[in-house]
Amino acid sequence: MYKSSLHCQQIPGFTQSSFELRLIELNSSTPVLLALIYRPPKYKNFIQDFENFLSNIVSIYDKCLILGDMNIHVCCRDKPMVKEFLSLIDSFELTHTLNLVLTYGLFVSINEICNSACFSDHFLFCFLSRFPSLLLILVHQFISSGL
């Protein structure tokens, strides 16, 4: 759901076997790609698939916002997959806020974190990001153990 003055369009995704993907282009003076990702636990080849995805999008977009649940807990820095993931996002010069908000060419500011433990093991958080000519307030969830 989005405001009618916000020009959005869903675009065909890149087919990846290790994660689900939804892509939305926010049309403003500079197009912004919003990518929503879910990686089920225990899927192999995620790092390679995600690297291919990032290679494609950064060659097309100057500004990207990637949200999702990748089932990688960046707080566990000794785990091999976490090391690979952090190295990958560093190599693409992505900024990560918490472990589920990745940005390229954008600034994100966390506004509020709400404990919704009575409904799930996830927390709800709201954040702001300034896109060219518009301000979005986005809401996303993250797993409490992922902090």
Closest by CA to 101, choosing from 87, 116, 89, 88, is: 89
Instruction: Specify if 133 maps to a domain.
Output: no
Q: How many residues does the chain have?
A: 147
Residue 17 sits in which domain range? Answer: 7-106
pLDDT, one tens digit for every residue, the chain (147 residues) = 455 666 788 888 677 889 999 998 887 777 888 898 989 888 788 999 999 999 999 999 998 888 888 888 888 889 998 899 999 999 998 887 665 788 888 776 665 556 655 555 555 556 556 555 444 444 444 444 444
Q: If residue 89 lies in a helix (H) or strand (E), which one and from where to where?
A: helix 80-91
CA distance 21 to 39: 9
Q: Is residue 94 part of a domain?
A: yes
- Residues whose CB falls within 8 Å of the CB of residue 44, separated by 6 or more in sequence, listed in order: 18
Is 131 a member of any domain? no
Contact between 51 and 14 under an 8 Å Cβ cutoff? The reply is no
11 within a domain of the structure (yes/no) = yes
Work out how many domains the chain is built from and give that number. 1
CB 28 within 8 A of CB 133: yes
Classify 133 as helix, strand or coil: coil
pLDDT of res. 53: 93
Answer whether 116's CB lies under 8 Å from 122's CB. yes
Q: What is the CATH number of the domain that holds 52?
A: 3.60.10.10
* Position 128 in a domain: no
- Domain membership of residue 21 (yes or no) is yes
